[in-house]
A = this chain, B = another copy of it.
Amino acid sequence: MKSIRGIVFDLYGTLYDVDSVARACEEAFAGQGDAIARMWRQKQLEYTWLRSLMERYVNFESATEDALRFTCAARGLALDAPALRRLSGQYLRLDPYPDMPAALRRLKDAGLALGIVSNGSHNSIGQVVANSGMNWAFDELISVEEVQVFKPHKKVYLLAENRMGHPRANLVFVSSNGWDASAASLFGFRVCWVNRANAPLDELGATLEQVVPDLGAMADWVLSQP
A residues adjacent to B (C-beta < 8 A): 46-47, 49-56, 58, 66-67, 69-70, 73-74, 150-154, 179, 183, 186, 199-200, 202-205
Contacts and interface: CB of A to CB of B under 8 A. Distances in A.
A109 B154 CA distance: 48
Contacts of A152: 50, 53-54
A73 B204 contact: no
Contacts of A150: 53
B54 A204 contact: yes
A54 B203 contact: no
Nearest to A49: B49
Contact of A200 (B46, B73, B199): B73
Given A54-B183, A54-B186, A203 B66 contact: yes
A51 to B, nearest CB: 7
B66 A204 contact: yes
B53 A204 contact: no
Nearest to A179: B50
A49 B54 contact: no
A49 B52 CA distance: 9
A182 to B, nearest CB: 8
A190 to B, nearest CB: 18
Contacts of A66: 203-204
Nearest to A65: B203
A163 to B, nearest CB: 20
Contact of A70 (B49, B67, B70, B202): B202
Contact of A74 (B69, B154, B179, B199): B199
B67 A153 contact: no
Contacts of A56: 186, 204-205
A66 B203 CA distance: 5
